Amino acid sequence: MMNDSMQVVILTSLISLAGIWILYFWLYISYRVDSFRDELFSLRDELFDIARDGHIDYNHAAYGMLRSHINTAVKKGHKVSFTHFLVSKIFSYNDKAKAAYMESYNERWESAIDELDIETRNKLLEIRRRVITAILFQLVLTSSFLFFTTLSFIIILIFKKMGENTYLLLHKWFGDDVVNDVSDNLAFQTLVGGYED
């Protein structure tokens, strides 16, 4: 039979999990979609400015293809997720029609940008690169698994790069008593583990 304190712990744990669920899947994901679309709108504005300044015609194939690419990403921004990406990759693994379309699209893109002067071509390639980067970030930042895996990996890399400065930083953040206590416990566990083998 459960005592009162156990019931309180279970109840607060369930409320906390529900709060995390709401924060992540409703508020955070909604924020990420809005932020992703905002970034794409900014890139589309940059593309428009390049055409407005006379570097490329609004009817040029490269302008139309890149603008269409950005518009499609904006329109389907709510579907840009790692899960959706993975499912679509699985179901279109051997899709010859899709592969042929992508090959044709890439050939048309290369042909279209080859017609441009080097400066304009580089500007369009930079915008395209930033669109693809935004999509990749959206895939990572809207996948709880990838987000926490990537975050953990980045934190580990930062701590490894910092070397002995990590220890000093932890002292600054948490204070000498906490860090020394954790260090002593880790050392003790390591020694005990070593003796038990």
User: pLDDT tens, 149-159?
Assistant: 777 777 777 76
Specify the number of domains making up the chain: 1
Q: Is residue 170 part of a domain?
A: no
Q: Is residue 106 part of a domain?
A: yes
- For 42-87, the DSSP string reads HHHHHHHHHHHTTSS-TT-HHHHHHHHHHHHHHHTGGG-SHHHHHH
Residue-range definition of the domain harbouring residue 47: 4-145
pLDDT tens string 58-116: 999 999 999 999 999 999 888 887 777 777 778 777 778 878 888 898 899 999 999 99
Q: Is residue 16 part of a domain?
A: yes
Q: Is residue 72 part of a domain?
A: yes
pTM: 0.67
